């Protein structure tokens, strides 16, 4: 299954933080074709293990499976569904199509007041999420048979191909990262590597990397590689905080990432002529690397990110080549790691 197929398949699957069961199960099936051993833990982390030759470091890769979404908070007497956002920019909501995941999947739309009915100046203010509602076209009595408070809601936003490189859809943050892991598994098969490699499709990253926290504790790796997305450039965003789409994966630099390990990753990119960009992060990286780094007595980490525009929206956009380059870089990097860890010492 190639990157595009994988992303098309998982795009349709709902998995907000905590509710990744389905997407975890499908991902586990795909991992099983490429890993020696696959487990889905209680928190829906998918953990695939690969090993070719023993006697090397324990490496853990992490890319999160959960997506941003919403949750039902109330159903009013007229059958309109009130909701709260889990990681959402509320400005993208009016006019969206959504799916409510109750005992059955219910389609709904987040209504937007037509311009004809708006007061002067009303269109200059963002609508607050608490004033929005989802219209399912059903009455309250019909609806409460199917959904209840606390049910997750995801966007309906199928993956589209814009040209032969660029794709757009929801949840590319961070299923694109999981796609990188799958490609990396294939790349690794072509190389001589030692040690054990754990590929973890983590859960609940959007709530604070909860899945990564507990899976890192369980696995106790020697080295961590977090794979996430970073902001791709757009005309309205400052250049110093974005990366260029299509110019290769971004390598994170800053206190969250181990300096010697990061330099080794950069050297690997240079040695094999793989495009990469530098992404300087002064503090919290906002990725699984943040919790991995301080697990137990510490895990040296690196961060590889795919440049992506319009993060946390239904039209997240990236270049598939960046995914492939990231996978290749990571595989070559893993193959370069040796057992002796003195080179990592400060």
Partner 1 sequence: MVELLKRLTETDGVSGNENKIRELIKEEITPYVDNIHIDNMGNLIAFKKGTKEHPKKIMLDAHMDEVGLIITYICDNGMLKFGTIGIDQRVLLSKRVLIGGKVFGVIGVKAIHLQEKSERENVIKQENMYIDIGASSKEEAEKLVKLGDYAAFTTEFEEIGNGKIKAKALDDRAGCGVLIETLKESYPDDIYACFAVQEEVGLRGAMTASYKINPDIGIAIEGTTCSDVPGADEHMYSTVMGIGPAISIIDRSSYSSKEIVSALIDTAKSCNIPYQIKRTMTGGNDAGIIQLAHEGVRTGVVSVPVRYIHSPVSMMDIKDYENTIKLIKEFLRKGVL
Partner 2 sequence: MKELLKKLVSVFGPSGNEELIRESIINEIEGFADEIRTDVMGNLIAVKKGTGSKIMLAAHMDQIGLVVTFVDENGFLRFAPAGGFSVTDLINRKVIFKNGTVGVVSYESEIKEIKDITLNNLYIDIGAKDKDDALSRVNIGDAAVYYTPFAENGTRCTSCAMDNRASCALLIETLKNIQTCPHEVYFVFTVQEELGLRGATTAAYAIEPYAAIAVDVTDTGDTPKSLPMAVKLGAGPAVKVFDQSVMVHPAIKNLMKEKAEKYNIPYQMEVLKAGGTDSGAIALSKSGVPTGCLSIPCRYIHSDSEMVDISDMENGAKLLLNILQDGIKIDK
For the window 297-326, what string marks contact with partner 2 as x by the rule CB under 8 A? ------------------------------
Q: Is residue 84 a contact point for partner 2 (CB under 8 A)? A: yes
How many binding residues for partner 1 (CB under 8 A)? 26
How many angstroms separate the CA atoms of 143 and 106, rounded?
Answer: 9
Provide the b/e sequence for 223-234 (b: ≥16 CB within 10 Å).
bbbbbbbbbbbe
Give the footprint of partner 1 on residues 297-336 (CB under 8 A): 297-300
**DSSP per-residue letters across 59-84:** EEEEEE--B-EEEEEEE-TTSPEEEE
Which member of 105, 205, 316, 340 is catalytic?
205
The site partner of 150 among partner 2, partner 1, none (C-beta below 5 to 8 Å per kind) is: partner 2
**Residue 308 CB, nearest approach to partner 2 (Å):** 24
Report the side by side order of strands in the sheet with 160-161.
160-161, 166-169, 316-319
Task: Return the number of the residue (7 or 292) whose C-beta is nearest partner 2.
Answer: 292
User: How far does CA 145 lie from the centroid of its chain?
Assistant: 33
CB 197 within 8 A of CB 49: yes
Nearer to partner 2, 129 or 332 (CB): 129
Cβ–Cβ under 8 Å, residues 56 and 221 = no
Cβ 165 vs Cβ 319: under 8 Å: yes
Name residue, tokens 């793989």: 274
| Chain residues 266-295 in contact with partner 1, contact rule CB under 8 A | 278, 280-284, 293-294
d(CA 257, CA 262): 7
- Cα 280 off chain centre by: 20
Is 142 annotated as ligand-binding? Answer: no
Sign, Cα dihedral of 233, 153, 133, 98: positive
Site string for partner 1, 234-253 (x = CB under 8 A): ----xxxx-----------x
Residue 345 binds to partner 1 (criterion: CB under 8 A): yes
With residue 225 as reference, give the H or E element that holds it.
Answer: strand 223-231
Written as one string, the DSSP assignment of 250-294 is: EEEESTTS-HHHHHHHHHHHHHTT---EEEE-SS--SSTHHHHTT
**154 or 268: whose CB is closer to partner 1?**
268
205 assigned to active site: yes
Q: Which is nearer to partner 2, 216 or 319 (CB)?
A: 216
Nearest approach, Cβ of residue 71 and partner 2 (Å): 6
37 appears as a binding residue in the annotation: no
Q: How far is the CB of 99 from partner 1 (least distance, A)?
A: 37
Q: Which residues pair with 251 in a beta bridge?
A: 278, 304
Residues 187-206 interacting with partner 2 (rule: CB under 8 A): 204
Q: Which residue in 99, 101, 213, 258 binds partner 1 (CB under 8 A)? A: 258
Q: Which does 86 bind (CB under 5 to 8 A by kind): partner 1, partner 2, none?
A: partner 2
64 marked as binding residue: yes
Q: How far apart are CB 72 and partner 2 at their closest, in Å? A: 8
Q: Which is nearer to partner 1, 91 or 241 (CB)?
A: 241
CA distances from 275 to 58, 103, 209, 251, 323 (A): 26, 46, 28, 10, 11
Residues belonging to the active site: 205
Can you say which residues are annotated as belonging to the binding site for Zn(2+)?
Answer: 64, 173, 206, 228, 312
Q: Which residues bind partner 2 (CB under 8 A)?
A: 17-19, 21, 40-44, 71-74, 82, 84, 86, 130, 148-150, 204, 207, 210, 213-215, 217-218
């Amino acid at each position: 299954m190639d990157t595009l197929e994988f992303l098309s398949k998982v795009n349709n699957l709902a998995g907000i933080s905590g509710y990744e069961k389905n997407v975890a199960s499908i991902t586990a099936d795909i991992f099983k074709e490429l890993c020696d051993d696959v487990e889905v833990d209680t928190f829906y982390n998918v953990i695939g293990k690969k090993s070719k030759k023993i006697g090397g470091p324990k490496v853990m890769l992490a890319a999160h499976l959960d997506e941003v979404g919403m949750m039902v908070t109330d159903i009013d007497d007229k059958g309109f569904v009130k909701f709260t956002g889990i990681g959402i920019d509320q400005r993208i909501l009016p006019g969206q199509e959504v799916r409510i995941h109750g005992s059955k999947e219910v389609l709904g739309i987040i209504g937007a007041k037509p311009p004809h009915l708006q007061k002067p100046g009303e269109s200059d203010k963002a609508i607050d999420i608490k004033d929005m509602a989802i219209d399912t076209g059903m009455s309250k009595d019909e609806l409460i048979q199917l959904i209840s408070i606390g049910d997750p809601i995801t966007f309906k936003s199928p993956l589209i191909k814009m040209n032969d490189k660029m794709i757009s859809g929801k949840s590319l943050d961070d299923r694109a990262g999981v796609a990188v892991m799958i490609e990396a598994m294939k790349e690794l098969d072509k190389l001589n590597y030692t040690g054990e490699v754990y590929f973890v499709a983590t859960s609940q990253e959007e709530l604070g990397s909860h899945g990564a926290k507990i899976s890192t504790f369980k696995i106790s790796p020697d080295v961590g590689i977090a794979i996430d997305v970073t902001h791709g450039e757009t005309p309205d965003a400052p250049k110093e905080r974005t990366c260029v789409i299509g110019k290769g994966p971004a390598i994170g630099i800053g206190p969250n990432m181990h300096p010697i390990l990061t330099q080794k990753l950069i050297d690997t990119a240079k040695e094999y002529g793989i495009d990469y960009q530098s992404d300087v992060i002064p503090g919290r990286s906002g990725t699984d690397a943040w919790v991995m780094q301080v697990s137990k007595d510490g895990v040296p980490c690196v961060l590889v990110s795919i440049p992506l525009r319009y993060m946390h929206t239904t039209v997240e956009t990236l270049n598939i080549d960046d995914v492939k380059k990231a996978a290749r870089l990571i595989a070559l990097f893993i193959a370069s790691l040796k057992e002796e860890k003195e080179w990592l010492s400060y």
